[in-house]
Amino acid sequence: MRALAALAHSEVSVREQLVTVARWCERNDVEFWTAPADAEEAGASEFASDRALGAADLVLSLGGDGTMLRSVHLLDGAPTPLLGVNLGSLGYLTEVEADQLEASLTTFFDGAEGDDWELDERLMIEVEVAGRHVGRALNEAVVEKHQAGNTVRLLALIDGEPFTYYAADGLIVATPTGSTAYSLSARGPVVSPHHRALLLTPVSPHMLFDRTLVLDPTQTVEVQVSGHRKADLALDGRFVQTLGDGELVRCTSSSATARFVRFGEFHFHQILKAKFGLQDR
């Protein structure tokens, strides 16, 4: 039996969308469930299940880019396709609007990959601390100052070799997908999400060298805390842990990818143009 799971933004009223999806699934012989916490927030506990998201043929993300990031996190590397349904402002990752939901489900389940829909695979980062795997990121891993008002001293290493010490608010290790997130606000470059690279971007560095390094995806990037000031590690905006002197964060390209369903050619530059209100000249 075909299966569909859904996740929803807790601050967006999505019960109507969940009911619409459930009715479509009933008509089309597709098993449907949603994560218990999301179902409770939406007032739709009848759809709640603890079943793993990776058991679905498709995961729906109802919300915006933040919900997409959470969906990728909860999939935990499973190769399940993810369809973003935009319920907020224009996002980079979502694919369809709410009024296109039923038609999109029909196209996915009754169509064929390569003819009716495509998979847009995105590079992710694997992150370790002291040799222990702590998570995976689609946008970025950030090592940032723990205490406001102070910079933190961080040593960046590339393929095990020291590059330089940064006196900065933090260091961002980003993917091309994450180039339009935190890295962009730190003056990093905009990179096509179909490119494969790792970006090392300093946050408010107190030094002359303030450029982003664009590295090969096969390279390893490590960030080591140096000195008595602590730093915090976050993955895609989720706090992981506080780091002390000598602790090292290791970032490598993941063998797993985030897999987004697309129903037409993905024009990143057009989304960028709309997001920033750019005009034709």
The residues that are catalytic are 65
Euclidean distance between CA atoms 93 and 65, whole angstroms: 6
Q: How many CB atoms lie within 10 A of CB 91?
A: 18
Nearest CA-CA partner of 220 in 153, 109, 125:
125
Q: Which amino acid is at 140?
A: E
As a whole number of angstroms, the distance between CA 183 and CA 186 comes to 5
Token pair of 204 as six digits: 């408010």
Q: Roughly what angle, to the nearest 10 degrees, separates helices 101-110 and 15-27?
A: 40
**Cα(281)–Cα(193) distance, rounded to whole angstroms?**
25
Tokens describing residue 49:
């299940």
Q: Find all residues with CB under 8 Å of 221, minimum gap 6, and list them.
A: 156, 157, 158, 173, 198, 200, 215, 250, 251, 252
Nearest in space to 271 (alpha carbons), one of 124, 140, 89: 89
Q: Are 226 and 165 in contact (CB under 8 A)?
A: yes
Which of 198, 25, 269, 119 minimizes the C-alpha distance to 188? Answer: 198
